[in-house]
Amino acid sequence: MTDIHPTALVDPKAELATDVVVGPYSIVGPRVTLGEGVKIHSHVVVDGKTSIGAKTEIYPFASIGQPPQDLKYRGEESQLIVGENNTIREHVTMNSGTEGGGLITKVGNNCAFLAASHVGHDTIVGDYVVMSNNVMLAGHCHIGNHVIIGGGAGIHQFSRVGDHAFIGGMSGVENDVIPFGIVLGNRARLAGLNIIGLKRRGFDRERIQALRGAYRVLFADDGTLHDRVDAVASQFVDQTDVMQIVNFLRADKSRSICTPRDAHEA
């Protein structure tokens, strides 16, 4: 049974599934859809064309679905889609999309957004992502699955972060981060593979050894990065994890990547 506090303002046009809870002084706009079992604590604003998936929980003073923080935005119809089983803590902000980014911001399932973290317009966030306190995702970012971002980190607009990557706290990430990589610092540099995270997620010794071997080739001193990517693709063609890195690097050659050295290779 839906439970709406008497002080909450829920627009009659909003679509609420069963077992939705809306706490004191929260506001739910007319174009909002709340899935089954969504729980909204006090003083939350959910507005715009926004969909919140089942069993997602939103804590006080979060602002979800407001217009994008983009000076080029002219009121075009855009939306925010948030998946299921997410935890959205206090003061988190998530904005809808813009015409320049496909008019959609999208968050996956089973993510945790800790206090005061921000998901910018037109950003795509995968599943099982953890954003610690005060993490900032600029517009048009693409964050893969199982990514962990440490507190206070900032991700530059249009950056891509591959699956299973780890971003160290207070890092300033202006270039793309390969799948399985770990980056640290301002500006962030690649510091190896996210071995601890991979072990926690059940990667066996063979898979990790393959990734280590590919990493050594990719970031060796010989030749160009393009040549080394081709060499890894040939040597590890049967290794799905390694080929995920190869495909990531080949997908957008206009972007620089985080490397272990000061100079970033295109």
- On whether the CB atoms of residues 80 and 105 are closer than 8 A, the answer is yes
Q: At the topology level of CATH, where does 3-140 sit? A: UDP N-Acetylglucosamine Acyltransferase; domain 1 (2.160.10)
Residue 253: its pLDDT value, please? 86
* Domain layout of the chain by residue ranges: 3-140, 199-251
Q: pLDDT by residue (tens digit) across 215-255?
A: 999 999 989 999 999 999 999 999 999 999 999 999 998 99
Give the C-alpha separation, 174 to 176, whole Å: 7
Question: Over 80: is that where the pLDDT of 43 sits?
Answer: yes
Band (pLDDT 50/70/90 cuts) for residue 266 is very low
Residue corresponding to tokens 């079992």:
37
pLDDT digits (tens, 9 = 90+) for 183-194: 999 999 999 999
Q: pLDDT over 70 for what percent of the chain?
A: 98
Mean pLDDT (the chain) is: 96
Same fold, 3-140 and 199-251: no
- Positions marked catalytic: 121-122, 139
Beta-bridge partner residues of 33: 15, 51
Instruction: pLDDT band for 264, please (50, 70, 90 cuts).
Output: very low
What's the confidence (pLDDT) of residue 146? 98
Instruction: Summarize pLDDT for 62-114 with one digit per residue, the tens.
Output: 999 999 999 999 999 999 999 999 999 999 999 999 999 999 999 999 999 99
Residue-level pLDDT at 1: 86
Tens of pLDDT, residues 59-68: 999 999 999 9
Confidence band, pLDDT 50/70/90 cuts, at residue 261 = confident
- CB 178, CB 257: distance < 8 Å: yes
Instruction: Classify domain 199-251 at the CATH class level.
Output: mainly alpha
pLDDT over 90, % of the chain: 96
Compute the average pLDDT of residues 197-216.
Answer: 98
Which pLDDT band holds residue 128 (cuts at 50, 70, 90)?
very high
Cis peptide preceding 187, ω within 30 of 0: yes
What is the gyration radius of the CA atoms in the chain, in angstroms? 20
pTM, entire model: 0.96
